[in-house]
Each structure stands twice: as C-alpha cells, then as structure tokens.
Structure 1
Amino acid sequence: MPMVKMLPSRRREFAMPVVVKQGRGRDLLFTPTGLEVVDRIRTTFSDWLQAAP
C-alpha cells in the first residue's frame, strides 16, 4: 500500500495529502493539493529573489 505524506494541521481530519510514496527507490507522486503547494512555493521564492537587492 502506498504511503501518503500529509500537510500538518491542528486537527488531523483537516490534514491534506501532498504526495503518495510509491515504494523504495521509486518516485513520489504529487496529489493535486501537493502540486498547488509546489506552485505557491515556487511563486514565493521567485518573488523573494526578484525583490532581493
């Protein structure tokens, strides 16, 4: 059974899966929630880099 990594939350029932681990030595699969998190992180880092002196 694949292992699912979750975004932390204060209440477990609201935790969102971000990746599904396929097994030893195999790639992780991002869930739609995980892809959204990655997109927001990339945008944030890009904004930070453009604002840096």
Structure 2
Amino acid sequence: MFDNLFNEKAIKELAAVLAKQDAQRTANETLREMDIKSIGLAEKIKEGIDKILV
C-alpha cells in the first residue's frame, strides 16, 4: 500500500517537473522566434530609412 502511494506521489512530481520543463522550453522557443522576427523587422526599418535618405 505504501509503495503505491509513494509511486503515485513520485509520478505526480515527475509529471509536474516535466510539464514545467515543457512550458519553459515553449517560452524559450517563443522568445527566440520573437528575437528573430525583431531582427528582421529592424533590418526592414533600416532599409526603409536608407531608401528615404537616398
């Protein structure tokens, strides 16, 4: 009986850790995508300014 309770608790804790890791990975991927998009946007703005100034 105690083995089952311990195993259930361990499984729940492991599931919580894995869910947290997955959420962190998703957040990091989103931030990385935002950085890539902002770099592209910055380049487009710079090109637009260069065209106006020329």
Choose between structure 1 and 2: higher helix proportion.
Answer: 2
Q: Do they superpose with TM above 0.5?
A: no
What range describes the TM-score normalised by the shorter chain of this pair?
A: 0.3 to 0.5
If the length of structure 1 is used for normalisation, what is the TM-score? 0.43
Structure of higher RCO (CA pairs closer than 8 Å, 6+ residues apart): 1
Of structures 1 and 2, the larger Rg is shown by: 2
Choose between structure 1 and 2: higher strand proportion.
Answer: 1
